[in-house]
Structure 1
């Protein structure tokens, strides 16, 4: 994978139509995203944020495999948990919750981007994740989770204590 050629090839696009591209699968490459959303190439951190954002824009998850897809090739990468980490949240004037990732991508929690409790990779503990497009998800950072937990409303359901928030009219369970 020629990183410079990839950047040149995709740099002019604003939206990447991955579903329309049918490149050859070229196998795995030594790119890894750790549990904190940091990207590595051959074990070394990728220092250029614009390159990480470019990779993130062509990332998808299909049948549990994380793929980078370009018009010329498709490769598999390793993801320890979720490829993105939610690091900030802002309540909008209309009561919706806007969540921001470690790559400065913003999403509104709701039917298009639901918050789901899913087992964390490694220990199976149920944690909130934001479901994104292309089979991807973003994990709530510990700091953000606790910040939102302070605002959650406690409800007892079937004898179990649950914590709920609303993004506009969309209710979601935080834990």
Structure 2
């Protein structure tokens, strides 16, 4: 009987991605601890493009399928985990990219909804906060939104500018409201 990764290997090895399969993890890795399992030759670039063995995974459906089994451990390592296999992958920045923003309403009750490069729909709120890191040398913002536990989407610059347009002051900070939760966009002084 084939495993979920074996099934994905078959799909990846389609004519447009031939030769870019995933190696099967040893049986000991399937149920092992967070550091068990081999590294799969899969990388998610900073722009959200998924690669296997150095070649882009061209079929969006395959990247979406892999994203359903993507997790991050307490050490910050990213893993593809199925009941049968487990393998570490490389993520250059965040595993997803927020590419579109929809704004509904005004003030604290406003709803901000992001769409990611893999078509996740994320409503900003307590469970899906916005976090803005700042480059220590340049002060340039790097905004993120939590997609699911341990996994974030980098908010692309054009979408971040949309957030800035609806930003307002609150409690000495500049930020945005969504679902009655305030999300600072400025640096904490």
TM-score range, shorter chain: 0.7 to 0.9
Q: Would the alpha carbon gap of residues 131 and 2 (structure 1) be closer, same or farther in structure 2, given more than 3 Å must change? A: closer
Q: Which residue of 1 aligns with 2:46?
A: 35
Shift of 1:168: 2.8
Structure 1 unmatched ranges of 5 or more? 9-21
Matching residue within 46, 52, 61 for 2:63 = 52
Q: How far has the Cα of 1:116 moved from its partner?
A: 1.5
Q: Could you say which residue in structure 2 is the equivalent of 1:163?
A: 174
Cα 1:43/1:7, change in 2 over 3 Å: closer
Alignment partner of 1:133 is 2:148: yes
Could you say which residue in structure 1 is the equivalent of 2:94? 82
Instruction: Report how many aligned residue pairs link the two structures.
Output: 157
Q: Which has the higher strand share?
A: 1
TM-score, normalised to structure 1, is: 0.78
Once residues 167 and 139 of structure 2 are traced to their aligned partners in structure 1, the CA distance between those partners, rounded to angstroms, is: 23
Residues 36 and 85, structure 1, Cα contact 8 Å, conserved in 2:
yes
Distance of aligned partners of 1:112 and 1:152 in 2 relative to their CA distance in 1, 3 Å threshold: same
Normalised TM-score (structure 2):
0.73
Equivalent residue, structure 2, for 1:26? 37
Residues 3, 69 of structure 1: alpha-carbon distance in 2 compared, 3 angstrom cutoff: closer
Deviation sequence 1:86-108 (CA, Å, 0-9, x none):
01111235621111101111011
**Residues 32 and 39, structure 1, Cα contact 8 Å, conserved in 2:** yes
